Structure 1
């Protein structure tokens, strides 16, 4: 039996429609390689410190969990018969994705970028850039 070049692919998802291209591309590569797909959604705990005290923390956490489950359901639907493992992580998105990839010995991380320019790119593309700089494996960035 021939061993595939890529046996595990991690797709970082935020559940947004802008992330759909990254999902589709990651699934396409996984299908071609026969790779196991891992989907991670990171609850950015830094957002809790900037939120109004009027919103109960538990309610906010449940909203993020529901969003993650919706993102995973979309991915499973697109992936069809491919094996998909999911994980909800907590913390800063880039370091959590990199730690997960290291722990699971991921061969490829697939992430989306919003394709912004100038100051917007610096602010919105910082997660993708940080993952690219610190990932233990190859990274595919999908615009």
Structure 2
């Protein structure tokens, strides 16, 4: 297996931090570079709300500026020994943007955290990781932070024990 480029999508939540640990270890092992991607969810296009263009653009420029600042320092300790780390911001539906980025940039592996939402939360917020796993053209490793985490590579489940 040849892994040269790993994509680490992040929403800056705890699950993404756990995925950063896996990503760093894999990148060091394979000598791969890491692309960190944060997607700013475009609410207006998703629900069809009307927002005056000026306020809409300013609103998202501010969010993207703050997200870029966060990306500059996020996972700094975990990724310090990785040879190449690049950071990117996209705007849109997170699953669609992750899939598009991976395809366009010839990503060899996507490593992402999941929230493990259920019920109404899952219905409202959707299953970004599930959509990525289902539609990605490259392997996807998902991690979930809890006492007994599950790692999913495409559709194969393998239970693991979280000792940390």
TM-score norm. by structure 2 comes to 0.72
Equivalent pairs counted in the alignment come to 139
Query: How has the CA–CA distance of structure 1 residues 118 and 69 changed in structure 2, closer, same or farther, with 3 Å as cutoff?
Result: same
* Structure of higher CA gyration radius: 2
Q: Write out per-residue CA displacement over residues 72-108 of structure 1, whole angstroms, 9 at most, x where no aligned residue.
A: 4113442003110111111111111111111111110
**Whole-angstrom CA distance in 2 between matches of 1:140 and 1:109:** 6
Q: Partner residue of 1:64?
A: 64
Match of 1:19 among 11, 16, 20: 16
Any stretches of 5+ residues in structure 2 without a counterpart? Answer: 145-164
Report the Cα offset of residue 122 of structure 1: 4.2
**Whole-angstrom CA distance in 2 between matches of 1:37 and 1:140:** 14
TM-score norm. by structure 1 comes to 0.82
Contact persistence 1:108–1:138 (CA under 8 A): yes
Contact persistence 2:6–2:110 (CA under 8 A): yes
Query: How has the CA–CA distance of structure 1 residues 10 and 142 changed in structure 2, closer, same or farther, with 3 Å as cutoff?
Result: same
Local SS of the residue matching 1:75: coil
Local SS of the residue matching 1:105: coil
Pair 1:31 & 2:32 matched: no
**Whole-angstrom CA distance in 1 between matches of 2:143 and 2:123:** 17
Contact persistence 2:44–2:51 (CA under 8 A): no
Structure with higher helix content: 1
Contact persistence 1:98–1:134 (CA under 8 A): yes
Report the Cα offset of residue 111 of structure 1: 1.2
Local SS of the residue matching 1:78: coil
Contact persistence 2:95–2:128 (CA under 8 A): yes
**Whole-angstrom CA distance in 1 between matches of 2:12 and 2:50:** 23
Once the two structures are overlaid, the 10-residue window that deviates more, 59-68 or 78-87, is 59-68
- 1:42-81 equivalences under 5 Å are 42-45=39-42, 47-48=43-44, 56-57=55-56, 58-81=58-81
CA RMSD of aligned residues (A): 2.5
